[in-house]
Amino acid sequence: DLSIQLNVNTEDELGELAKSIEDLAEKLDFMKRERNEFLSSVAHELRTPLTFIKGYADIANRSTTSLEDKTQYLRIIREESRHLTQLMEDLMNLAQLEENGFKVEKHQVLIQELINEVVSKVSGVFSEKRINFLISGEGNFYANIDFMRIEQVLVNLLMNAYKYSADESDIKLAFIPEKENFKIVISDKGEGIPEQDLPYIFERFYRVDKSRTRTTGGVGLGLAIVQDIVKKHNGKIIVESIQNQGTTFIIELPYS
């Protein structure tokens, strides 16, 4: 245990020093607990798909299992492997982002070009559900940002909007230029997020409905990554949502 008790209660420099050492010990203790929680979440997330994979591989391997069932089990095994790959990718991303001294590589970016790139990336997927994709906001605005990282943020939010929307639903992306900052608003008319879950959705591994998101493939790291990237750009991200009506994410970033 890291708890330290220093019996110096004076008002002078020594007292101050004792106080800061105590604060530091408390902080280290908190970090230790956080790390342990994180590790047990990761272990849990790994165990679930692995249990499915092992279980179905065993049944598929039995000579008594019909070919039809085998095909079905193999499909589950493939699906769970995909889930594990996604988890690994998200974890690597998170580790990279949280590494000390990680820097976003900022360059002058034409915001319109970034939006075009994002739109072309998701349009193909959107057409599978015949999503009505509405894009608004134009102009020659430049911002000093990491193109790839902000692209990742927007694609992530759009793919979430897609995942939690019904067929033929509307999804909007709006660029709103302001004086020193600009906003990018992504909104959907999907299932929304219950009010009591809203404060937690940016936390690592947080999912509103675990059974629902298992089938849609998320592991609950996407928004944690999104928030990290936005923070590294000195920006803000806000969410508004009404259950069964839709969700809106607003990203605000400085031009420079």
Q: Smallest distance from the beta carbon of 234 to ligand ADP, in angstroms? A: 22
* Contact (Cβ atoms closer than 8 angstroms) between residue 79 and residue 49: no
At closest approach, how far in Å is the CB of 224 from ligand ADP?
Answer: 6
The nearer residue to ligand ADP, 172 or 232, going by C-beta atoms, is: 172
Nearer to ligand ADP, 106 or 214 (CB): 214
Rounded to a whole number of angstroms, the minimum distance from the CB of residue 78 to ligand ADP is 19
CB-wise, 83 or 233, nearer to ligand ADP?
Answer: 83
Residue with the CB atom nearest ligand ADP in the bound state: 218
CB of 250 to ligand ADP, least distance (A): 13
Q: Compute the least distance from the CB of residue 232 to ligand ADP, in Å.
A: 17
Q: In a 10 Å sphere around its CB, with 0-12 CB exposed, 13-18 middle and 19+ buried, how is residue 213 labelled?
A: middle
Say which amino acid occupies 112. Answer: Q
Rounded to 5°, the CA angle 9-11-13 comes to 100
Closer residue to ligand ADP, CB minimum distance, 147 or 241 = 241
Q: Compute the least distance from the CB of residue 62 to ligand ADP, in Å.
A: 33
Q: Is the Cβ of residue 22 or residue 197 nearer to ligand ADP in the bound state?
A: 197
Q: What is the C-alpha separation between 236 and 252, in angstroms, rounded?
A: 5
Q: How far is the CB of 211 from ligand ADP (least distance, A)?
A: 11
The alpha-carbon radius of gyration of the chain (Å, integer) is 23
* Residue with smaller CB distance to ligand ADP, 77 or 219: 219
DSSP string, 102-158: -----EEEEHHHHHHHHHHHHHHHHHHTT-EEEEE-----EEEE-HHHHHHHHHHHH
By beta-carbon proximity to ligand ADP, the closer residue of 208 and 253 is 208
| Phi, psi dihedral angles at 122 (to 5 degrees) | -95, -15
CB of 202 closer than 8 Å to CB of 224: yes
Question: SS3 for 23?
Answer: helix
Phi, then psi, of 249 in degrees rounded to 5: -110, 130
Question: What distance in Å separates the CA atoms of residue 129 and residue 1, rounded to the nearest whole number?
Answer: 53
CB 252 within 8 A of CB 235: yes
Binding footprint of ligand ADP on the chain (CB under 6 A): 160-161, 164, 188, 190-193, 201, 206-208, 213, 218-224, 247
